[in-house]
Chains A and B, each alone.
Chain A
Amino acid sequence: MGAYVVRRLLLVVPILFLVTVAGFIGLEIAPGDPMFSQISDEMLQELSEEQLGQRRSDLGLEGPVWERYGRWVGGMLQGDFGYSVVTGRPVLEEISARAGPTLILMGTALAIAILIGVPFGIISAVKQYSLLDYGVTSFSLFMISTPSFVLGVVAIYVFGVWLDLLPVSGMVTLGQESNIWDRLAHLTMPAMVLGLHSSAQIMRYTRNSMLDVLTSDYMVTARSKGLSGTAILLRHGLRNALIPVITIFGLLVGQFVAGAVVTEQVFGWPGMGRLAVSAAQDQDPALLMAIMVIVAVGVLMASLLADISYALVDPRVRYERS
């Protein structure tokens, strides 16, 4: 097991290297010189050649490419992600203020997605070709095909405008003392939209995995031994079917991020997704590249965890080698 984890970790290193290289290239080719972003034109004229050089080295903008790349990555390892061109504040400050709301949204949405996706995927496989199965498969294909912003807008219309049940934007009602109910009400719609949208993938995956198991030899054996239907389903079927479903969570984290980018924008949720969009609209390269690297690390760690827990529950994985 230890060797497996180490081997798996080593694979992440070149990937992270390439992601940071891409981020660095993005920083380099982005329009605008970060050097001039924080000083006015008048000030720029007063500065001497030497002062400019001094400033360049203060900001870490001098030296050959590989040296600047090294400094950028070294800085990130120490928590220095540079400065936002727009606000002039450290990128880390901007991001950490947004991380909490995003994690709350994504955590709730993940819970909703699992609670809906797994049970319906299983029922749909067990009752294959039933009306319920057609309903579930159509629903999931419909959810996958509808972009999350369309889903969000429809939700706002139905629950925010027509039924007037839920607040349509933000995390709290402005100008009102925030309490837990107010926060929950604000969380409901974005979390439901993101969760339902992602539940479709889990549903399809669980259904396929369950179908695979249902047609396997050991299920036939169990049935021919004369075990009861429920016992077979729960003890032999479900336990094996849920194992591969674990792997999809590594995949889903990426989808949640993509979904959050759009959902946060639709519902005015003050998270990292919205930060990424406004950074893109304002062309704020340092902020964008930092978000990209952080998301990549997060996704890689999530899939690492998913793979390791998969190997923990299914010993066959550990011995598989090419």
Chain B
Amino acid sequence: MPSSIRGCDMSEADPVTRLDPGIPGADSLEAVALVAYESPAREKLRRFMRHRLAVVGAVVLFIVVMLALLAPLITQDPFRSDLSLVRQPPSAEHWLGGDLAGRDVWSRVIYGTRTSLIVGIAATAFYVTVGTLLGLVAGYAGGVVDQVLMRVADAIMSIPLLLIVVVFIAVIGPSLSSVIIVIGLLGWPAASRVVRGQTLALRESEFVIAARVAGARTGTILFRHILPNLLSTLIVVATLGVATSIVIEASLSFLGLGVRPPTPSLGIMVNEARSPTNLQNLPWLWVPPAVMIALTVLSVNFVGDGLRDAFDPRSAAAGKVTTTGGEA
């Protein structure tokens, strides 16, 4: 029962902790039964493959990533303007035609996808790392440290991510790196909540108590004993986080507050073509970038959903509250 919602945590214990303490090992019983005839990795892979949409998502995502990686081989110069290409419809030589400045649209879409993926991965890696560290500290230390960190998290989460990012981008000035930094610095609360909740539960588990009794240092306990148990959760959080970061970058660039032109960005491309006459007469300007954003985010979300079901069998059955990315 979600008695707490984003922004204001009413009860101090997260659902995970509330379920767990009385019965240590309640989780592992189920796992043991399954592991008896199949290795955990194989079992996870099987569960992921069973999720058909997740497999489709993984394939599409693989293609998108390969296109972005191989950009220099399969495209022309995305910055070069050619006056004879201005507003030209798609042709054999220029697959998606030319834009308002006479640049090759296909090349700009592929390079724009590259920008999206760079921001998505870098910003998410940044905030998941920060969120994990703060969540570990808050959950393990408890007391005042926990209180302060969680109130800061509440404060950040009381403002929609897109808006708070807009505010801080305005203060430090828009650019590719400031988009990454601002999402990275303001995105951590969601990740740290999850990590904190699980750390609180694991702190009282027998193997951690055993390690403490054996005289292990706090750092060792946190990184050797607790962190590995959080990995599957973190992979899911990070995957869905990439989707959110990509949407935020695209929206910011669309609003003129993200990546600066002439750097190719899918959001900027849609924005440049959004007058009704251009929408009607030059569809090759806005359809490809719009489809590319939706396709990329959708496949990342499919993969994230599949991973969650694969790592946590209960979520598929019980239909847990989802955190699928894409706030804006």
> In the complex, how many angstroms separate the beta carbon of A163 from the nearest chain B beta carbon?
12
A238 at the interface (CB under 8 A from B): no
B307 at the interface (CB under 8 A from A): no
Name the B residues within 8 Å of A279 (CB-CB).
Answer: 170
Name the B residues within 8 Å of A30 (CB-CB).
Answer: 170-171
Bound Cα distance A103, B151 (Å):
28
Q: Which residue of A lies closest to B317 (CB)?
A: A215
Number of A-B contacts (CB under 8 A): 225
Name the A residues within 8 Å of B257 (CB-CB).
Answer: 277, 280-281
Partner among B158, B162, B270, B326 whose Cβ is within 8 Å of the Cβ of A19:
B158
Contact in complex: A212, B319 (CB < 8 Å): yes
Partner among A141, A162, A205, A280 whose Cβ is within 8 Å of the Cβ of B167:
A280
> In the complex, how many angstroms separate the beta carbon of B164 from the nearest chain A beta carbon?
7
- Binding stretch for chain A, among B35-43, B106-114, B217-225, B297-305: B297-305
Tell me the dominant secondary structure on chain A's binding face. Answer: helix
> In the complex, how many angstroms separate the beta carbon of A120 from the nearest chain B beta carbon?
15
Name the A residues within 8 Å of B318 (CB-CB).
Answer: 211-212, 215
Take A295-B159, A317-B1 as given contacts and tell me if A8 and B254 are in contact as well, using a CB distance cutoff of 8 Å.
no
Contact in complex: B297, A262 (CB < 8 Å): no
B168 at the interface (CB under 8 A from A): yes
Contact in complex: B164, A145 (CB < 8 Å): no
Interface size on B, residues (CB 8 A): 68
Tell me the dominant secondary structure on chain B's binding face. Answer: helix
Take A141-B302, A250-B5 as given contacts and tell me if A18 and B321 are in contact as well, using a CB distance cutoff of 8 Å.
no
Bound Cα distance A155, B7 (Å):
32
Sample 11 A-B pairs with CB under 8 A, ordered by A number: A11-B9, A15-B7, A26-B168, A141-B301, A154-B290, A208-B319, A208-B321, A262-B328, A277-B255, A306-B5, A316-B1
Q: List residues of chain A with CB under 8 Å of any chain B CB.
A: 7-8, 11-12, 14-16, 18-19, 22, 26, 29-31, 141-142, 144-150, 153-154, 156-157, 160-162, 168, 204-205, 207-208, 211-212, 215, 244, 247-248, 250-251, 254-255, 257-259, 261-262, 265-266, 276-277, 279-281, 283-285, 288-289, 291-292, 295-296, 299-300, 303-304, 306-307, 310, 314, 316-317, 320-322
Q: List residues of chain B with CB under 8 Å of any chain A CB.
A: 1-13, 151-152, 154-164, 166-171, 173, 243, 247, 250-251, 254-257, 267, 270-271, 274, 276, 279-280, 286, 290, 293-294, 297-298, 300-302, 305, 318-322, 324-328
